Amino acid sequence: MTDDMLHVTDDMLATAERIVRAGPICDECLGRAFAKLGHGLANSERGLKLQTALSARGVNRKAGACWVCGGAFEEVDGLAERASAMSDGIEFDTYLFGVRPTPRLIQGEKLFLERFPTDAYEPLKHAFNREMGKAFEAHVGHGTVDFERPHLSYVIDLASDTITLKVRSVYVYGRYRKLLRGIPQTRWPCRVCKGKGCSACNFTGKQYPESVEELVAAPFLEAAGSKEAYLHGAGREDIDARMLGSGRPFVLEVVAPHVRSLDLVALREQVNTTAAGKVEVNDLRFVSRDSVALVKETHAEKTYRALVSLASPVEEDKLLAAVSSLIGQINQRTPHRVSHRRADLVRVRRLIDAQAKIVSEREVELILRGEGGLYIKELISGDEGRTMPSLSGVLGLPALVTELDVIDVSASAFPDSV
């Protein structure tokens, strides 16, 4: 450090003298009062330099704990050592510290600024967090501060002398295909015990033994050394519907991972081997947390293949005309089958395209492309007049979906759309 990094003026020295005479003060707090004057010096170096100049004039520091910070800056190294121990075994590149000062510190800072108003002052929180970071890096031997998306977020509560650490989740985007009917997208708590575990669910707490979420997450949890993961899907298919084609976009959130540099090629292989015949994942890539909302909120268009059973045979011309007439606006009152968990209201959705072919005497196959949120089973059955128009209504006979597959989910907003 050279002298010209802080040119000590008489004004500065006069202020410093008043501060030092007001009570015991640490180098850090004395330096903070002039933080924005000169650069290249740490606050404590700046404070020491001022104090040295004052001592030469016979103005000496008073003994005792600093009246501004109460000695908080002396705790930095010990706190950094504790924070460092908390990061043991956790892979990270970036970190951020946030301090919660005690009410007394906040009051002390206010008093100080009232007595010694200056534009050159650096707030205690700001300086403390930076000093924590410097000491933390010295202890762990690596790391960079990141104010936006740190891997490790520490909060230091000075009043209770506690440090809490939050490890940022890892987010992985991909598409899943569900090859088998009967698997829900996410874990469903047992209807009887609500997840606590009972004889009805064989003490698993689950209504279904497996879910897409669990099948996809298992290898990730193991590789990341994590205990929790959530699958956020771009909508969801019915439990009894398959998800084919290029699959449904999802973001897997791996909570509090110990390992972040996951090998997505190997993990894809592992999911596809362990869940073979049930679930398959593709197009995996790391994304940020924003992608969760993007995937969940995007209204993607969906294409379905529906096998429909008709109460009586229909001629091909009549079938094709009926199916074509459905293209356009569909009014759907909340279906009977979901009315226990969804608000009862009429939704307007569009059927974008529809094709049909006769499979057997009373069976037809439909390919239907619709806006996100269009209920296909009800578009066919009419749901006792709740959905209008419907295939059943147009044909004037009962029609029922017997098999449903989603064969495409697409929206330009998805990270892998081209």
What residues numbered 177-236 form the site for Zn ion, per CB under 5 A? 190, 192-193, 198, 200-201
- The region of 5-13, 64-72, 125-133, 175-183 touching Zn ion under the rule CB under 5 A is 64-72
Is the CB of 69 or the CB of 234 nearer to Zn ion?
69
Rounded Cα–Cα distance for residues 102 and 305 (Å): 63
Is the CB of 14 or the CB of 200 nearer to Zn ion?
200
Residue 234 near residue 250 (C-beta atoms within 8 A)? yes
Residue 325: how many other CB atoms lie within 10 Å = 12
Residue 405 near residue 302 (C-beta atoms within 8 A)? no
The DSSP code for 213 is H
- The region of 60-68, 216-224, 333-341, 351-359 touching Zn ion under the rule CB under 5 A is 60-68
Is the CB of 198 or the CB of 264 nearer to Zn ion?
198
Min dist. Cβ of residue 158 to Zn ion (A):
13
Should residue 69 be labelled a site residue for Zn ion when binding is judged by CB under 5 A?
yes
Min dist. Cβ of residue 196 to Zn ion (A):
7
3-state DSSP call for residue 169?
Answer: coil
Rounded Cα–Cα distance for residues 36 and 130 (Å): 15
Residue 152 near residue 169 (C-beta atoms within 8 A)? no
The dihedral over CA atoms of 209, 212, 213, 219, expressed in degrees to the nearest 10, equals 90
Residue 278 near residue 334 (C-beta atoms within 8 A)? no
Is the CB of 189 or the CB of 372 nearer to Zn ion?
189
Min dist. Cβ of residue 74 to Zn ion (A):
8
Min dist. Cβ of residue 197 to Zn ion (A):
6
Q: Does the active-site annotation cover 3?
A: no
Is the CB of 5 or the CB of 200 nearer to Zn ion?
200
Is the CB of 101 or the CB of 150 nearer to Zn ion?
101
Rounded Cα–Cα distance for residues 412 and 120 (Å): 50
- The region of 58-66, 231-239, 340-348, 367-375 touching Zn ion under the rule CB under 5 A is 58-66
Residue with tokens 């959530």: 230
Should residue 26 be labelled a site residue for Zn ion when binding is judged by CB under 5 A?
yes
Min dist. Cβ of residue 43 to Zn ion (A):
10
Min dist. Cβ of residue 69 to Zn ion (A):
3
Q: What is the largest CA-CA distance in the chain?
A: 109
Is the CB of 190 or the CB of 351 nearer to Zn ion?
190
Min dist. Cβ of residue 155 to Zn ion (A):
21
Should residue 113 be labelled a site residue for Zn ion when binding is judged by CB under 5 A?
no
Q: Binding string to Zn ion for residues 136 to 175, with x set by CB under 5 A, is what?
A: ----------------------------------------
Q: Which of 29, 172, 229, 380 binds Zn ion (CB under 5 A)?
A: 29
Indicate the pairing of strand 242-255 with strand 228-233. Answer: antiparallel
Min dist. Cβ of residue 152 to Zn ion (A):
26
Contacts of 188 (CB under 8 A, 6+ apart): 206, 207, 208, 211
- How far from chain centre, in Å, is Cα 296? 12
- The region of 1-9, 47-55, 68-76, 106-114 touching Zn ion under the rule CB under 5 A is 68-76
- The region of 61-69, 77-85, 175-183, 276-284 touching Zn ion under the rule CB under 5 A is 61-69
Residue 296: how many other CB atoms lie within 10 Å = 14
Residue 161: how many other CB atoms lie within 10 Å = 11
Q: Which of 77, 146, 157, 238 is catalytic?
A: 238
Should residue 124 be labelled a site residue for Zn ion when binding is judged by CB under 5 A?
no
Q: 256-272: buried (b, 16+ CB within 10 Å) or exposed (e) per residue?
A: bbebbebebeebbebbb
Should residue 30 be labelled a site residue for Zn ion when binding is judged by CB under 5 A?
no
Is the CB of 188 or the CB of 230 nearer to Zn ion?
188
First to last CA, the chain: 54
Residue 386 near residue 336 (C-beta atoms within 8 A)? yes
Q: Annotated active-site positions, please?
A: 238
Binding region for Zn ion (CB under 5 A):
26, 29, 66, 68-69, 190, 192-193, 198, 200-201
